[in-house]
């Protein structure tokens, strides 16, 4: 698969790159919030655009030909820095940080003005995006990794902009399919529920079987 890149970088250099990626994306996230909420007039907009375009030109001096892809280090760690919801280098991503416990996975994230749908509320589709990623990563860490087969979200009540919590757990694994359920809550109240089925892609089935065999062998 193109875009899956094996790239061995020593830990110190990797930490440095990670910090650079987070710092520039963090500055752009602030700018996004300021753009959604700005009330300044034409002259200020023009001046801000000149600065933004100058910054873009600097960043374009050396660019990847396409998207970031997924990169693996020799120690097996995976980098999804360009990911639309997790990516530390992607200013569109809050970014969501996932935590994997033994029985479940969770995240807590602050969603500001850029994630609005209905007035003052988180866009229902943004919650679906977070749930897709959270449930998919739960499948990967606690079941069998896979692409989303189906995702169903039931919205029980409105989710105000601000801090939300997501939680997910594997319900069951059936061969190449992992069934995961999850919730979004806001102020301690569940506002959305989801079910997802994640399916190990055909091209990865040999590879993952190898990994599973090796893990068992090493265990």
Binding marks (x or -) toward a copy of itself, 77..106, rule CB under 8 A? Answer: -----xxxx-x-xxxx--------------
Q: Which of the residues 14 through 43 are near a copy of itself (CB under 8 A)?
A: 20, 23-25, 27-28, 30-32, 34-40, 42
User: Residues 74, 150, 187, 209: which binds a copy of itself (CB under 8 A)?
Assistant: 150
The nearest distance, CB 83 to a copy of itself, in angstroms, is: 6
The nearest distance, CB 217 to a copy of itself, in angstroms, is: 28
Strands 4-6 and 70-72, sheet pairing: parallel
As a whole number of angstroms, the distance between CA 27 and CA 19 comes to 12
Our CB check for a copy of itself shows the closer of 6 and 102 to be 6
140 binds a copy of itself (CB under 8 A): no
133 binds a copy of itself (CB under 8 A): yes
109 binds a copy of itself (CB under 8 A): no
Candidates 106, 116, 68, 73; CA nearest to 88 is 68
As a whole number of angstroms, the distance between CA 68 and CA 3 comes to 7
DSSP state letter for 107: E
Our CB check for a copy of itself shows the closer of 89 and 106 to be 89
Our CB check for a copy of itself shows the closer of 57 and 218 to be 57
Q: Which of the residues 111 through 130 are near a copy of itself (CB under 8 A)?
A: 112-120, 123-126, 128-130
Are the CB atoms for 175 and 187 separated by under 8 Å? no
As a whole number of angstroms, the distance between CA 27 and CA 165 comes to 24
**Residues contacting 183, CB < 8 A, separation 6+:** 166, 167, 168, 190, 192, 193, 194
């Amino acid at each position: 698969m193109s875009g899956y890149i094996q790239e061995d970088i020593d830990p110190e250099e990797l930490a440095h790159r990670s910090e650079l990626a987070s710092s520039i994306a963090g500055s752009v996230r602030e700018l996004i919030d300021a753009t959604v909420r700005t009330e300044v007039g034409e002259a200020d907009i023009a001046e801000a655009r000149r600065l933004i375009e100058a910054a873009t030109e600097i960043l374009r001096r050396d660019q990847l030909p396409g998207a970031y892809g997924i990169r693996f280090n020799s120690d097996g760690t995976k980098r999804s820095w360009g990911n639309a919801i997790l990516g530390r280098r992607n200013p569109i991503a809050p970014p969501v940080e996932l935590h994997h416990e033994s029985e479940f996975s969770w995240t807590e994230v602050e969603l500001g003005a850029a994630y609005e749908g209905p007035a003052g509320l988180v866009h229902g589709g943004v919650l679906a995006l977070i749930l897709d990623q959270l449930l998919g990563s739960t499948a990967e860490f606690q079941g069998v990794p896979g692409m989303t087969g189906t995702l169903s979200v039931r919205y029980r009540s409105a989710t105000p902009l601000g801090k939300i919590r997501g939680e997910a757990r594997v319900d069951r694994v059936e061969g190449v399919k992992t069934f995961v359920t999850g919730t979004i809550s806001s102020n301690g109240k569940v506002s959305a529920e989801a079910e997802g089925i994640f399916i190990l892609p055909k091209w990865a089935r040999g590879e993952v079987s190898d990994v599973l065999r090796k893990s068992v062998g090493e265990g």
